[in-house]
Structure 1
């Protein structure tokens, strides 16, 4: 592998290790700090949970 490709791979690996995955991650919801987008996301999440429960 060329040195340039190795440097690029190291850079991408370093970036991805700093980024949060976000799957199955518990996040506390604060009504006091929530904005409109947070409320919309909560509503979408609850609808998705209900759809999943209906499948079982």
Structure 2
């Protein structure tokens, strides 16, 4: 059964958790060069996402 969602309801921002708060297991020993580059990109994205945000 599907529920009709109005455009207003669909466009409302939700209170989802911030991705940086997720617990993700990562192993430096098993990481290859692409994994390490992805970690660096993720860290840079986290910095951009939280820049100027008061804690």
TM-score (norm 1): 0.50
Across the aligned residues of Structure 1 and Structure 2, the Cα RMSD in angstroms comes to: 1.6
Identify the structure with bigger relative contact order (alpha carbons < 8 Å, sequence gap 6+).
Answer: 2
The structure whose Rg is larger is 1
Larger helix percent: 1
Any gaps of 5 or more consecutive residues in structure 1?
Answer: 1-23
Number of paired residues?
33
Shift in Å at residue 27 of structure 1?
A: 3.1
Match of 1:32 in 2: 29
* Structure 1 outlier segments of 4+, above 4 Å: none
Any gaps of 5 or more consecutive residues in structure 2?
Answer: 1-18
